C-alpha cells in the first residue's frame, strides 16, 4: 500500500503569498544550481588580484586541507536539510514521496534511481532534504545522494552540496559510507548519470543502463543486491534537443560528455 507524507496543498487552495513563496523556492534552486559554482570560482580567482587576496589564499589552503572530506562522508547539516525553503520547492511542482515497502534499518542499501533528469529536483527533495519526511517514513535510514565527483572540486559550492548529504559517486566515497559500523546507510545512485540527462524530454523516460553495472558490483561487494527506486521525478526541465538523432544532441554529447549538460528549465 502506498503511503504519501506531507502532501502539497491543492493548487486551488493556494494563496498568492503561497504561490510567491513556491516561486522563490523554485528559482532559488535553479539559480543556485546554475550559477553558484561559476560565481564563487570566479570570485576566488578575482580576489587574488585585489587587496582582499588573503581571503582567497586562506580558502585555497582550506580547500587543500579539506580535499578528501567529500570521500569521507562529507559534512551533513540537518539544519540545511530541514530548511523551510525545500518545502516550497516541493510544493511548486509538486514532488511526492510514496512508500511502497518497508526498509529495515538493520542493513545498508544501494538504491538505483531513475530518471536522472536535468536538475534531479525530485531526488533532491526526497533524499537530500526532509521536505517529504524521509526520516519519518524510513526511521533509522541515513540517505546519501551520489552525484558527479567533479562537483566537489568547485569552491564553496562543494561545501553547500555536502550540507545536504550529497557525496561523490566514486568507489572510494561509496565504499567509505557502506563500510560504516552503523547500519542503515542508504546510497542513492542515479544510474544513468549525466548521459541520461541529455535524453530528458517531457513525457518520456529513457533509462541509460547497458554499460552501468558498477552499482551492482558495489551492492554485492557490501553484502546484498541493489534495490530499484521507482521514478522520483518527471521531466521538470529538458535539454536543448528533440531526440538522439538531432545535431544539437550530438554536439552536447561531444562538448559536455559525462560531466555536464545544458539545461532548459521551464519555470
Chain segment 65-93, per-residue pLDDT in tens: 999 999 999 999 999 999 999 999 999 99
Dig out the grid coordinates for 37 from the structure: 559554482
116: exposed, middle or buried (Cβ count in 10 Å: 0-12, 13-18, 19+) = buried
Dump pLDDT digits (tens) for 20-64: 999 999 999 999 999 999 999 999 999 999 999 999 999 999 999
Q: What gap in Å lies between CA 80 and CA 76, rounded to an integer? A: 8
Is residue 82 classed as helix, strand or coil in its secondary structure?
Answer: coil
Reported as a pLDDT band with limits 50, 70 and 90, residue 119 is: confident
Long-range contacts of 149-156 (CB under 8 A, 24+ apart): 149/70, 149/173, 150/259, 151/37, 152/70, 154/37, 154/40, 154/41, 155/40, 155/41, 155/44, 155/59, 155/63, 156/36, 156/40, 156/44, 156/59
pLDDT of residue 139: 95
* Higher per-residue confidence, 215 vs 146: 146
Q: Where does the pLDDT of residue 8 fall: very low under 50, low under 70, confident under 90, or very high at 90 and above?
A: low
| Whole-prediction pTM | 0.78
* Strand (E) or helix (H) holding 28: helix 16-31
Amino acid at each position: 500500500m502506498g503511503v504519501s507524507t506531507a502532501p502539497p496543498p491543492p493548487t486551488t487552495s493556494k494563496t498568492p503569498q503561497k504561490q510567491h513563496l513556491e516561486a522563490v523556492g523554485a528559482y532559488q534552486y535553479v539559480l543556485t544550481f546554475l550559477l553558484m559554482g561559476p560565481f564563487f570560482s570566479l570570485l576566488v580567482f578575482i580576489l587574488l588580484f585585489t587587496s582582499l587576496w588573503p581571503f582567497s589564499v586562506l580558502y585555497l589552503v582550506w580547500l587543500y586541507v579539506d580535499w578528501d572530506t567529500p570521500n569521507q562522508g562529507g559534512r551533513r547539516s540537518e539544519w540545511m536539510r530541514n530548511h523551510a525553503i525545500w518545502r516550497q520547492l516541493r510544493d511548486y511542482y509538486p514532488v511526492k514521496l510514496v512508500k511502497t515497502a518497508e526498509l529495515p534499518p538493520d542493513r545498508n542499501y544501494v538504491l538505483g534511481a531513475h530518471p536522472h533528469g536535468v536538475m534531479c529536483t525530485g531526488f533532491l527533495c526526497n533524499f537530500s532534504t526532509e521536505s517529504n519526511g524521509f526520516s519519518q517514513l524510513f526511521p533509522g535510514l541515513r540517505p546519501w545522494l551520489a552525484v558527479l565527483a567533479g562537483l566537489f572540486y568547485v569552491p564553496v559550492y562543494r561545501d553547500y552540496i555536502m550540507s545536504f548529504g550529497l557525496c561523490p559517486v566514486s568507489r572510494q566515497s561509496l565504499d567509505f559510507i557502506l563500510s560504516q559500523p552503523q547500519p542503515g546507510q542508504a546510497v542513492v545512485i542515479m544510474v544513468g548519470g549525466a548521459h541520461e540527462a541529455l535524453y530528458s524530454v517531457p513525457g518520456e523516460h529513457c533509462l541509460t543502463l547497458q554499460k552501468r553495472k558498477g552499482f551492482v558490483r558495489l551492492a554485492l561487494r557490501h553484502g546484498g543486491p541493489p534495490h530499484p527506486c521507482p521514478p522520483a521525478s518527471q521531466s521538470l526541465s529538458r535539454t536543448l534537443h528533440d531526440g538522439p538523432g538531432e545535431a544539437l544532441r550530438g554536439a552536447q554529447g561531444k562538448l559536455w560528455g559525462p560531466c555536464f549538460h545544458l539545461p532548459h528549465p521551464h519555470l
